Amino acid sequence: MAESNRLHSINSSRILRAIWLNPGVSRIKVAELLDLDRSTVTKIMQVIMKRELVVSAGKSTEQSGVGRRQISLLVNGEIGVVLGIEIQNSRYRAVVTTLSGTVLHSFAQAKQTVGEDLVPTLVSIIRQAKRYIAREGLFLLGVGVGLPGIVDPYSGVVIRSNPLKILEPLDVRERLERLFEEHVFLENDANCCCWGELAFRPENRSRNFLSVLGEFRHLEQGSDEYHGLAVGVGLVIRGRVLHGDHFTAGEYRSPLANRSTGQFVIPWSDVRKLPEDTEVLRRVYAELTANLAFLVNCVDFTKILFAGELASRRENLAELMASAIEENWTYDLERPFVIEFSANGDDAVCIGAAGLFVEKLFSVPDVADRFHELVGYDLFETILERRG
Does one domain contain both 226 and 286?
yes
Does one domain contain both 87 and 176?
yes
- pLDDT of 16: 96
The answer to whether residues 97 and 351 touch, using CB atoms and an 8 Å cutoff, is yes
- pLDDT of 273: 86
- pLDDT of 64: 45
Does one domain contain both 158 and 222?
no
**Which residues of the chain are under the pLDDT cut of 70?**
1-4, 58-69, 218-227, 367-371
209-216, strands of its sheet edge to edge? 240-241, 229-237, 209-216, 303-308, 338-341
Does one domain contain both 131 and 61?
no
Instruction: State the Cα–Cα distance between residues 99 and 233, nearest whole angstrom.
Output: 25
Does one domain contain both 226 and 329?
yes
Does one domain contain both 366 and 336?
no
Which tens digits make up the pLDDT trace of 196-239? 999 999 888 888 999 999 998 766 655 544 568 899 999 999 99
Does one domain contain both 290 and 210?
yes
Of the residues 31, 53, 75, which one is the last residue of a structural domain?
75
- pLDDT of 68: 54
Of the residues 75, 101, 129, which one is the last residue of a structural domain?
75
- pLDDT of 222: 53
- pLDDT of 259: 73
Which tens digits make up the pLDDT trace of 102-151? 999 999 999 999 999 999 999 999 999 999 999 999 999 999 999 999 99
Burial class of residue 166, CB neighbours in 10 A (0-12, 13-18, 19+): buried
- pLDDT of 7: 87
- pLDDT of 243: 95
CATH number of 12's domain: 1.10.10.10
Count of structural domains within the chain: 3
Does one domain contain both 189 and 244?
no
Q: What's the pTM?
A: 0.92
Does one domain contain both 261 and 370?
no
Of the residues 344, 361, 378, which one is the last residue of a structural domain?
344
E-only strand ranges, the chain: 54-59, 71-75, 81-87, 91-97, 103-110, 140-147, 150-152, 157-160, 170-171, 183-188, 209-216, 229-237, 240-241, 303-308, 338-341
Does one domain contain both 18 and 55?
yes
Does one domain contain both 377 and 246?
no
CATH number of 370's domain: 3.30.420.40
Q: Which domain range does residue 46 map to?
A: 2-75
Does one domain contain both 110 and 232?
no
